[in-house]
Structure 1
Amino acid sequence: MSVPIDALSVSPGLPELCSPAELGEYTHLRHSVTILIKDWRAAGRDTFVLGVRRPVGRETGGYDSRLLAQVIRQCGLFVAHAAYGVPTGHHTLLHTLNITVEPGLRADEGGEFEAVVTVARKPGSAMRLTMGFHIRRDGADICLADTEFGWISPAAYRRVRGQHTSADWGRWPVPVPVAPRLVGRASPDDVLLADGGGGRWWRLRNAVSNPLLFDHPVDHVPGLVLLEAAQQAAYAAVHPESFELTDVGIRYTRYVEFGEPCWIEAVTRPAVPAGRSAIDVTGHQGGRAVFRARLTGLRA
């Protein structure tokens, strides 16, 4: 069951000191190379400011959707645990994530990324945390986002997941990727889609070699992997046209299992403003929808 936030040891401040081990625990990450938070402070009740940085040479991608989504994820989890006392042993339930990115955001692969993130808790359910994110770089806005998530105890999680509480990590069959250029990526290792038999359908491929998406073994496909798959499907749906993603909203409805196929469908929406594209992407597994996303962007 979910734990009401009012039942937690709520302390809307942040620790002055935090060890690397605690930082990894708060962000649910095991590889220190993927941890982006470098400093933090409370800026008022329910408002927090965090500095994030990825030094030159970290092989985790450039200024793209994966990096920004990881910044949002890490800052949200850190504030939930450090400021609001959400137990680190509980399991996170991600419900929604919405991201708006400033057009023209670019950087070289492996280049430095440094930004300031303001996180503000918004009014909402006592069973969930709703947060808004304002990301700035060099004094300029680069991203706005909001998310809603909850958590459940280990015992409740075992009841919910049943026989799915473990996975034979990385040993499932991984289908051949589509061409990277089709999904807006440079390397086959970054491609999350395989051929789905034609049309606007693809099959999700869970290759766990990318630590920005698969940091450690888990029993279901992470939410940020599904977000990235939705974005790749949007690029594929408009190909061969160029497409610069500016807005994405995703709602998660079910866990996605590693052991059975997950199908990704993309439908281009008509009647959008000139110069823009809009795509609806849905994930299906076992005949049921597992997520729904809407993505919009600029045609190049």
Structure 2
Amino acid sequence: MHRAAVAEVFVTDAVVLGEDHFLVGSQWPRDHALYHPDAQRRSDPLLFAETIRQALVYVAHWHYEVPLGHRFVGYDMDFEITDPGALCVGGRPMPVELEARWQWTDRRPPRRYGARLEVALTVGGRRCGRGSLRVVALDERSYRIIRGRTGRAESVPVAAEEPYARLDPGLVGRLRDKDSVLARGSAAGEWLLRPNLDHAILFDHPTDHLPLMVLLEGFRQLGHLMTHSPTSRPGSPALTLVSAAVDCLAFAELDVPTRLVVREKATAADPTAVDVRAERRLHLDALQGDTVVASCASVWAPVRLATAAERPVGLTVP
């Protein structure tokens, strides 16, 4: 899974259904330090994104015999939760299945393997989402050649003493100070992506650039900040992330400040208004200097509380 910690491995098994067709099993925890359930006890959608990533890596090594030492570089990822009610956390870990289809996009063994994995998400027998991930797996020599083109083969972290305090975790939908990855930038409407490089989940093992999942976490936190106004009326429905599409356009270096900006935002009813009761669509960019290194189109939708019939056995909603 390209994970150092056993506790962060969510994929449990896989079987072959046909040519380039698989069923991947996973178990999502009832709680997680970073990917914790929301106030409505629904699983974090980024658990789905991380499971897609792990499924691709597992199938690549297990079935297609991509060498274990290859470096995986993400090009794009997208996911959509079509039935958020299926993600209610119950009294036991959540049984998850991904029906996955593999497509080669650039296969040049033994040094380069490009592929896309398309998945359909089922939780407890209930179809509730879809997603995909496209990557290239490179041997060490090929990876160093690509990284050498940027002039940053040995990227180092941004100096820790830079005076940018991270936002309060509650403002970005997280529980712990260390989980906040955003700081206010020097210009209005601009934020800095400043993750803790010692974070045991975001940086589970050493890396020379910001991983796709760290960029996605930054986009998610900024989306939460934009869609959850502290002045919202009591009883207003919360918004939850139901889809995201991330494009990685360049390596995001550790030693260059990363700015996040919202390029457009709109509601379904009025593209100029902000209404917490309506669906919100956000397009966010991550920039280093004047270069866009990644972009994300996301959709945030009002949360409907699950009915008693929809809740898993053992779930109590206060």
TM-score normalized with structure 2 length = 0.78
Secondary structure of 1:129's counterpart equals strand
Look up the match of 1:34.
8
Shift of 1:209: 4.4
Equivalent residue in structure 2 for 1:92, among 72, 77, 81: 72
Which stretch shifts more, 81-90 or 286-295? Answer: 81-90
Residue 284 of structure 1 contacts residue 291 of structure 1 at CA under 8 Å; is this kept in 2? yes
**Corresponding position of 2:138:** 152
Aligned to 1:261: 257
2:196 alignment partner in structure 1: 207
Match of 1:117 in 2: 98
Task: Give 2:213's match in structure 1, choosing from 218, 224, 232.
Answer: 224
Question: Does the residue aligned with 1:189 lie in a helix, a strand or coil?
Answer: helix
Q: 1:248 to 1:81 in 2, by over 3 A?
A: same
Q: Structure 1 CA distance, aligned partners of 2:89 and 2:118?
A: 25
C-alpha displacement of 1:294? 0.4
User: Which residue of 238, 248, 251 maps to 2:247?
Assistant: 251
Displaced runs of 4+ in structure 1, greater than 6 A? Answer: none
Matches within 5 A, 1:227-246: 227-240=216-229, 242-246=238-242
Structure 1 residues 209 and 135: alpha-carbon distance in aligned structure 2, compared to 1, 3 A threshold: farther
Structure 1: state its 5+ residue gaps.
1-26
Deviation at 1:185, TM superposition (A): 1.9
Separation of aligned partners in 1, 2:46 and 2:101: 22
- Structure 1 residue 198 displacement after superposition: 4.8
Where does residue 21 of structure 1 map in the other structure? none
CA shift in 2, pair 1:56/1:199, >3 Å: same
- Please give the alpha-carbon distance, in whole angstroms, between the structure 1 residues aligned to 2:84 and 2:29: 23
For 1:169 and 1:261, how far apart are their aligned partners in 2?
10
Secondary structure, in 3 states, of the residue corresponding to 1:28?
coil
Does structure 1 conserve the Cα–Cα contact (< 8 Å) formed by 2:267 and 2:279? Answer: no
Distance 1:173 1:128, change over 3 A: farther
* C-alpha displacement of 1:228: 1.1
Question: Which residue of 144, 147, 152 corresponds with 1:161?
Answer: 147
Counterpart CA distance in 2 for 1:28 and 1:165 is: 20
Change in CA separation of 1:287 and 1:91 when aligned onto 2, cut-off 3 Å: same
Identity of aligned residues (%): 23
Q: How much has 1:118 moved relative to structure 2?
A: 1.5
CA RMSD of aligned residues (A): 2.5
2:28–2:47 Cα contact (<8 Å) kept: no
Q: Which residue of 2 is the match for residue 11 of structure 1?
A: none
Q: Cα offset for 1:124?
A: 4.3
The Cα of 1:114 is off from its aligned counterpart by 2.5
Residue 166 of structure 1 contacts residue 218 of structure 1 at CA under 8 Å; is this kept in 2?
Answer: no
Structure 1 CA distance, aligned partners of 2:34 and 2:176? 13
Q: Is 2:184–2:190's contact at 8 Å kept on the other side of the alignment?
A: yes
Does structure 1 residue 134 correspond to structure 2 residue 123?
no
Q: Which amino acid aligns with 1:262?
A: T
How many pairs does the alignment contain? 273
Farther off after superposition, 91-100 or 118-127: 118-127
- Alignment pair present for 1:183 and 2:165: no
Q: Does the 8 Å CA contact 1:57/1:111 hold for their aligned counterparts?
A: no
CA distance in 1, matches of 2:198, 2:154: 19
Following superposition, the deviation at residue 273 of structure 1 comes to 4.7
- Contact 1:200-1:267 within 8 A present in 2 as well: no
Structure ranking higher in helix proportion: 1
Question: 1:294 matched to which residue of 2?
Answer: 297
Amino acid aligned to 1:144 = R
Amino acid at match of 2:9: I
Matched AA of 2:115? L
Secondary structure at 2:84 match in 1: coil
8 Å Cα contact 1:169-1:217 kept in structure 2: no
**Counterpart AA for 2:89:** A
Per the alignment, in what secondary structure is the counterpart of residue 182 of structure 1? helix
